[in-house]
Amino acid sequence: MHMEPGNDTQHLEFLLLGLAEDPELLPLLFGLFLSMYLVTVLGNLLIILATISDSHLHRPMYFFLSNLSFVDACLISTTIPKMLVNIQTQSKAITYRSCTSQIYFFLLFAGLDDLLLTVMAYDRFVAICHPLHYMVIMNCRVCGLLLLGSWVVSVSHASLQSLMILRLSFCTDLEIPHFFCELNQVVHRACSDTFLNEVVIYLGALLMGGVPLTGILYTYCKIVSSIHAISSAQGKYKAFPTCASHLSVVSLFYGTILGVYLSSAVTQNSRSIATASVMYTVVTPMLNPFIYSLRNKDIQRVLRRLCITGR
């Protein structure tokens, strides 16, 4: 049977095979991912609440951090709730429209995560390499434009990739060995020519992954040389912690993504790739608030005050 997305999408469904075939493992998976989801959303909301409630945190670094926390909460919300519903209802189905929507929002928030980490690297670069001009360079207008630019680029990329899906035709092989509608997996289920889609995917990966990573590496080369040039040991010690949290998050984000896609090039086991992708889709957004709060005394102080006084 040959289905054209243009005229019969209301009857088209994909099957998300999930992370495990054994029915006995499903309750365990449900509890685990529900716990991780709640911890992630709560942790990121606490970071947002802390940065809003304390005037000492109304600085560019925390402005971008609160936006990163919002994006992380949204990113995990695009995949896990549907997975939990499917486990609870013992259904694997997702409609064509829901699948394309999930692809769009996942790419949107994953792209924003990536771009915000790059913007935060630039913020740290200005703070350490040009400390006397920091507040002049990173003024409210510049921060707003950097955030707006990140949204524009990510929305454009997600829209293009989603529109490219609409040109594909799908036949009978609609099983996706993943827990969400991952772009590559969906494209490979098409029975029409996917060459153009694959070109756009690779170009998108280069734009949204390669360019930001290059920018981050460049800024940290400049940061390291600036810290190295500081003569006093105390000065070096004070400069480095401002980058430590961000560097940890960047390493976790890019390390897990590169791990998944390098392993996908080596192994053909789709289910093991799906399991590995849990690292950057679920674990990274969950750990980000802990990394920032554990390494940041300002956020620790505000969170303690919020817990004690409730305001």
pLDDT of residue 310: 58
Residue 38 — very low, low, confident or very high, per pLDDT cuts 50/70/90? Answer: very high
**Segment 89-106 mean pLDDT:** 93
Cβ distance 18 to 93 under 8 Å?
A: no
Residue 303 — very low, low, confident or very high, per pLDDT cuts 50/70/90? Answer: confident
pLDDT of residue 1: 37
pLDDT of 207 higher than 60? yes
pLDDT of 37 higher than 90? yes
pLDDT of 197 higher than 90? yes
| Radius of gyration of the CA atoms of the chain, in A | 21
Percentage of residues of the chain with pLDDT beyond 90:
49
193: left (phi over 0), alpha (psi -120 to 50) or beta: beta
Express each pLDDT in 185-195 by its tens digit: 899 889 888 99
Domains of the chain: 12-309 (1.20.1070.10)
pLDDT of 226 higher than 80? yes
- Report the chain's terminal Cα–Cα distance, integer Å: 60
Residue 80 — very low, low, confident or very high, per pLDDT cuts 50/70/90? Answer: very high
Rounded Cα distance, 171 and 17, in Å = 18
Residue 131 — very low, low, confident or very high, per pLDDT cuts 50/70/90? Answer: confident
pLDDT of residue 48: 92
pLDDT of 177 higher than 80? yes
Residue with tokens 């003569």: 231
pLDDT of 119 higher than 80? yes
Q: What is the mean pLDDT of the chain?
A: 86
pLDDT of 245 higher than 60? yes
Rounded Cα distance, 101 and 104, in Å = 5
Residue 295 Cα distances to 18, 241, 292, angstroms: 35, 8, 5
pLDDT of residue 147: 97
pLDDT of 9 higher than 70? no
pLDDT of 301 higher than 90? no
pLDDT of residue 3: 44
pLDDT of 153 higher than 70? yes
**Segment 235-261 mean pLDDT:** 78
pLDDT of 238 higher than 60? yes
Cβ distance 60 to 136 under 8 Å?
A: no
Partners of 16 in beta bridges? 176
pLDDT of 217 higher than 60? yes
Rounded to 5 degrees, what angle do the CA atoms 164, 165, 170 make?
140
Name the residue with higher pLDDT: 266 or 113. 113
Name the residue with higher pLDDT: 176 or 3. 176
Percentage of residues of the chain with pLDDT beyond 70:
87
Least confident span in 10-24, 119-133, 202-216: 10-24
pLDDT of residue 5: 46
**Segment 124-147 mean pLDDT:** 93
pLDDT of residue 277: 83
